[in-house]
Structure 1
Amino acid sequence: MSHAMRAIFIRHGESTANTGLASADVASIALTQRGERQAGQLAREWTETPSLIVTSPFQRTRQTATPTIARFPGVPVETWDIAEFTYLQPARWNGTAAADRRPHVERYWTAADPSYCDGEGAESFAGFLRRVEATLARLAALPPAALVYVFGHGQFIQAARAIVAAPDLDDAAQMRAFWQGGAPPVVANAQRVGFQWQGDCWACAPALAA
């Protein structure tokens, strides 16, 4: 077994919002039946017992983590500030479907201003990156042999991967590279993305033991 600190980020299973349904608010979006099946499959596939399980406070990630938590009942569970990136003001977002938000989304990413905040309850891209960096620093400070399963969100995991891959890019360059012309999510529902702390930097790592 590796003695390096490892973190495996897991995007939540398919949610109602992922299927195009309208959502009342970003935090209470639930899994679909398919998402619940994905969560159960994840729990069955783990090959190692983690030392810690982390979830975001959002319902869909907590639901995705539930079968894994049940499989490893002695493992501590913590809720961290790893909620999804909310870049549109929630008042503009609530009660809408993805298609309704599309013009606002495209304007936001086309402007590519990392310091811009859309309004109360929204987060700037720069603020989002600082939150992701803080999470990576918190993980890096754990004991060397730690293995952490981190149940989170697509854009958060995408940002962690971007920071690890290109740590020297400034916020504006990261933002320009992030959106990729409105391509589908880079991290799929229930996908696992592994990272390993190598003493002074992060590197990508297998999401499951060989």
Structure 2
Amino acid sequence: MSIYLIRHAQSLGNVNGKTESHASIPLTEFGHEQAQKLVDVLPPAKQIFISPFLRTRLTAEPILLRDQITPQVLDIQEFSYLSDTRCKNTTLEERKPWVDDYWNQADVNLVTSDGAESFANFYQRVTDFISHLDSLKAHYQHDHLLVFSHGQFLQLLKMLVEQKRELSSQLMRDFRYALLNHQLDNTEFFIFK
């Protein structure tokens, strides 16, 4: 039995739609279809973790109904290095210059504005969650835990599980490279080992 880590289904933000806030981005119609298909792919869960962001709840919803489970909301939301205030009612394309500027600086402690998160804080959230999952492994030898999270969160988690690395500008650059070249697809999942 296993711990499954699942990226949320396609959201409005993934298809260059205008979004109001990081937390309130809904799924697209195709995203709802992807979420429904997970019912036939993922095993019955003993427990389900989701982030506080709507798109993970909506992705998990068909599984929650199937397994009659109430999810536990954890601090596994997406890395928000640009604030909601700055990003409100913008598309991916409109945010691209801000995104590129942020990553080009490779400053792990940079906080771009109130309501934004530094890479250092994000790294800490991910490493804390890895420790939490390590402590749960023994409990999921005969049952399944399903974790619905986000592309950046899961990408860094996967990188750090494969090779433990200290926080650094180089890690930040390597992480960005992985995001651009090996990003997890919507509803893609892997097993935590």
TM class, shorter-length: over 0.9
Matched, 1:9 2:14: no
Structure 2 residues not aligned, in runs of 5+ = none
Matched, 1:70 2:65: yes
Counterpart amino acid of residue 87 in structure 2: W
Question: In the alignment, which residue of structure 1 is the partner of 2:48?
Answer: 53
1:51·1:76 contact (CA, 8 Å) conserved in 2? no
More helix by share: 2
Q: Secondary structure at the match of 1:141?
A: helix
Give the percent of matched residue pairs that are identical in Structure 1 and Structure 2. Answer: 34
For residues 75-122 of structure 1, what are the alpha-carbon distances to aligned partners after superposition, in whole Å with 9 as ceiling and x for unaligned?
Answer: 452010111000012211111101111111001001101111111110
Q: Secondary structure at the match of 2:138?
A: coil
| 1:149-164 superposed matches below 5 A | 149-164=146-161
Question: In the alignment, which residue of structure 2 is the partner of 1:188?
Answer: 185
Q: More deviation in 180-189 or 21-30?
A: 180-189
Question: Deviation of residue 50 (structure 1)?
Answer: 2.3
Equivalent in 129, 150, 174 of residue 135 of structure 1: 129
Question: Cα RMSD (Å) of the superposition?
Answer: 1.7
Question: Deviation of residue 185 (structure 1)?
Answer: 6.3
Counterparts of 2:132 and 2:178 in 1: how far apart (Å)? 31
1:38·1:190 contact (CA, 8 Å) conserved in 2? yes
2:51·2:77 contact (CA, 8 Å) conserved in 1? yes
Question: In the alignment, which residue of structure 2 is the partner of 1:93?
Answer: 87
Question: In the alignment, which residue of structure 1 is the partner of 2:97?
Answer: 103
TM-score (norm 2): 0.92
Aligned residues, how many? 190
Question: In the alignment, which residue of structure 2 is the partner of 1:178?
Answer: 175
Question: Deviation of residue 195 (structure 1)?
Answer: 1.0
Question: In the alignment, which residue of structure 2 is the partner of 1:199?
Answer: none
TM-score (norm 1): 0.85
Q: Secondary structure at the match of 1:13?
A: coil
Structure 1 residues not aligned, in runs of 5+ = 197-210
Counterpart amino acid of residue 192 in structure 1: F
Question: Deviation of residue 49 (structure 1)?
Answer: 2.4
Question: Deviation of residue 183 (structure 1)?
Answer: 2.1
